[in-house]
Structure 1
Amino acid sequence: MSSTVLLLSPLRQASGNHSTIKRIRSHLESEFIICKEWDPADFDDEEQFLRKLRENNIDFVIALHAYKAGKYLSTKVPIPYILIFGGTDINQLHTDEDKLCKMSRAVEGARNIVAFSQEMMDKALQIWPDLVKSRASIIKQGIQTRPSALSLREVLVKHGHVSSAVITGATIFLFVGSIRPVKDPLYLINTMTEWHKERTDILYVIIGPEYGEDYFAVFNGAIHGAKGVIYLGEMSIENAHACMRDSSSLVNTSESEGMAAVVLEAMDLGTPVIARRNGGNEALIQHGVTGFLFSSPEEFKEIAESFSEDAVMQRKITIAAKEQIRREHLPEIEKNAYYKVMNGLKH
């Protein structure tokens, strides 16, 4: 008889958590494991969650994000569960005493803990020194891109953002991520606007969903009238992949990251990555080898100017990045790792 696994995760469309949990579901279902997806935002408290858990005959739980999903998990949960760290949970939320308490309960009750990288696991061990290493696993994200037929340059012309005369030779820097403070989509706005004044063929395109009304209002106010800065709103994963494919570079400006799927996806698509220095990005990118890292808007522009004019360097970087994906981030490797952890829950 097949097991039924609950995938408990924030399920907002176009988010990194959503794409990760969809990929894990695909892995499990290929092994004939029945999967259900629940969003923790749909529950009011732990008791409501436990009641629904009993009603649905769930055998195991895989929970992504130690706070958002983990706040409903503890030793009171009557079935085994795996807890996957998301990024903001151990990078930021642990400084809040109430959130840390809820995450600690989830960590204590977990049969297995998963982190996407050694850097993330090291942070977790700093927060929870008693975390038993024998029940901790590092499973790197498996990446599989599937770009649609959408053409980013055609979209920009069609919607009147850029003239057909400019778009052919335009250098497009692309931001893909939710519009929220931790992703810091406004970090390079002034730099890109000033650069566009110098060169009208420099464009900064932003793709991502609104995450909170207050910050989105700030974001809209900041980009209103900003020349060379174009916000295209939320897109499907397939269309976002097409935009990455069609861009000159992917830009990541996050204050912190766990393991940024968009960075890995750009690498897989052969698009160079220029990313802000933080623990997650530094764990993924070897500066000058598989991409570039910057610590200030000024350093970003210096790197971007030099890099965009060096076709040999661009080719060298993209080849090395793609080799890294093939070596460390194949979906089959990820699938086998989760299947092994799942089998461990049965014993």
Structure 2
Amino acid sequence: MRLLFLAVLRPHTGNAVTAQRVRAHLEAAGHVCVLKDAFDFESPSEIANLILAENCEAALALHLYRGGRLLQGHRIPFGVIFGGTDVNEDANQAEKNTVMGRVLEEARFAVAFTESMKEMAQAQWVDPVFTREVKAKVKRAAGVRLIGEMPQEDLHAVVKNCFAVVNSSVSEGMSAAILEAMDLEVPVLARNIPGNAAMVKHEVTGLLFSNPQEFVHLAKRLVSDPALEKEIVVNGREFVRMYHSWQVERDTYQQLIRKLEGSTED
């Protein structure tokens, strides 16, 4: 089957890495996956021309608003994959919320990476400003450096040489950085928000903090307690193996795409 896959493909970002991984899963099953950057298109009519030119039989979108909205109204079946931006940001804007609801009505399936993301999506339906704020705060913070995107293999090399990985996000869907750190056997300290807490069990697979003072306390504790560090590393690695297996993810996407394949015969 020839599949059109829409995603935001800014280099070296979580979205791009996820899209490449999903495409690999689908192509391993023998499908042809035409991966395109959703930001290159402005209207469904442009997608209609692309579908015709590429002879696509079905489609997939990463992010309901950024990609899914462009697939509405076409004659091919499609599925969608929730991104953190969908449930944490776009869902709070009335116009975007309405559009995403319509996308879900038309989609043949929807994938959520965590139970909390699924619950948030169910509750909602049956960025430049933030970036500037972060950069401004980093400039004022002593001992903190902001490093731009880098290739995944370089990032992994850096992470392996770190004592711990910190996720201080105030909004997360499924943090690839947390999962990668666990897989690389590096301890994780993460802000206690729903997206992070869905993956990090405090003092088992990582450490959760709610404020700067708690972060400092937990970081000092981790440095001074080798037994805790070892336990977190072992449990984190096992968590990834059990619940975020690359092979299980591949099998799941291949099974879902078979649903679209059957739809083309209707």
TM category (shorter chain) comes to: over 0.9
Q: What does the per-residue CA deviation read over 1:163-210, in whole Å, with 9 as the maximum and x for residues that have no partner?
A: xxxxxxxxxxxxxxxxx5xxxxxxxxxxxxxxxxxxxxxxxxxxxxxx
- Counterpart CA distance in 1 for 2:119 and 2:133 is 35
CA distance in 2, matches of 1:263, 1:85: 18
Query: Do the aligned partners of residues 26 and 215 (structure 1) sit closer, same or farther apart at CA in structure 2, a change above 3 Å counting?
Result: same
Match of 2:247 among 315, 332, 336: 332
**Does residue 319 of the first structure (1) align with residue 234 of the second (2)?**
yes
Correspondence list, 1:163-202, <5 A: none
Aligned ranges 1:126-165 → 2 under 5 Å: 126-129=123-126
Match of 2:204 in 1: 289
Aligned to 1:309: 224
162, 167, 182: which one aligns with 1:252 = 167
Q: How many residues align?
A: 262
CA distance in 2, matches of 1:328, 1:222: 35
- Spell out, residue by residue over 1:228-253, the C-alpha distance to the aligned partner (whole angstroms, 9 max, x if none): 21223221111111111111110101
In the alignment, which residue of structure 1 is the partner of 2:149?
A: 234
Percent of aligned positions that are identical: 35
How far apart, in 2, do the equivalents of 1:241 and 1:233 lie?
Answer: 14
> Residue 343 of structure 1 corresponds to which residue in structure 2?
258
Aligned to 1:154: none
The one-letter amino acid paired with 2:230 is R
SS at match of 1:229: coil
Q: Is the 8 A contact 1:286 1:292 kept in 2?
A: yes
**Which whole-Å CA distance do the structure 2 matches of 1:227 and 1:95 have between them?**
34
Cα separation, 1, equivalents of 2:177 and 2:59: 26
With normalisation by structure 1, the TM-score equals 0.72
Partner Cα distance (2:222, 2:105) in 1:
47
Aligned mates of 2:92, 2:130 — CA distance in 1: 21
Matched residue, 1:121? 118
2:62·2:80 contact (CA, 8 Å) conserved in 1? yes
CA RMSD across the alignment: 1.5
Deviation at 1:220, TM superposition (A): 4.1
1:224 Cα deviation from its structure 2 partner: 3.4
Work out which of the residue numbers 75, 96, 101 in structure 2 matches 1:99: 96
Residue type at the aligned position of 2:108: R
1:80 maps to what in 2? Answer: 77
* Distance in 1 (alpha carbons) for counterparts of 2:50 and 2:117: 31
Q: CA deviation at 1:34?
A: 0.9
Q: Secondary structure at the match of 1:36?
A: strand
Structure 2 residue corresponding to 1:63, chosen from 61, 64, 77: 61
- Bigger helix fraction: 2
Q: CA deviation at 1:115?
A: 0.8
- Whether the 8 Å contact between 1:5 and 1:58 is mirrored in structure 2 is yes
Query: Matched residue of 1:224: which SS?
Result: helix
Residues 93 and 99 in structure 1, CA contact (< 8 A), matched pair in contact too: yes
Note if 1:11 corresponds to 2:18.
Answer: no
Contact (CA 8 Å) 1:70, 1:102: kept in 2 or not? Answer: no
**1:73–1:109: 8 Å Cα contact kept in structure 2?**
no
Q: 5+ unaligned residues in a row in structure 1: which ranges?
A: 130-179, 181-211
Matching of residues 209-220 of structure 1 within 5 Å:
212=128, 216-220=131-135
- Cα deviation, residue 10, structure 1: 0.3
Distance 1:102 1:84 in 2: 15
Letter in 2 for 1:53: I
Q: Which residue of the other structure, out of 174, 178, 181, is the alignment partner of 1:263?
A: 178
Q: CA deviation at 1:24?
A: 0.8
- TM-score, normalising length: structure 2: 0.94
- The answer to whether the 8 Å contact 2:8/2:16 transfers is yes
Distance 1:341 1:217 in 2: 39
User: Max radius of gyration: which structure?
Assistant: 1
- CA spacing shift, 1:217–1:98, aligned 2, 3 Å: closer
CA distances 1:18-48 after superposition (whole Å, capped 9, x unpaired): 1111001111111221111111111121222
Contact 1:84 1:113 in 2 (8 A): yes
Residue 120 of structure 2 aligns to a residue whose secondary structure is helix
Q: Tell me, which stretches of 5 or more residues in structure 2 are unaligned?
A: none
Is the 8 Å Cα contact of residues 80 and 111 (structure 1) preserved in structure 2?
Answer: yes
Distance 1:36 1:303, change over 3 A: same
The alpha-carbon distance between structure 1 residues 121 and 222, as it changes in their structure 2 partners (threshold 3 A), is closer
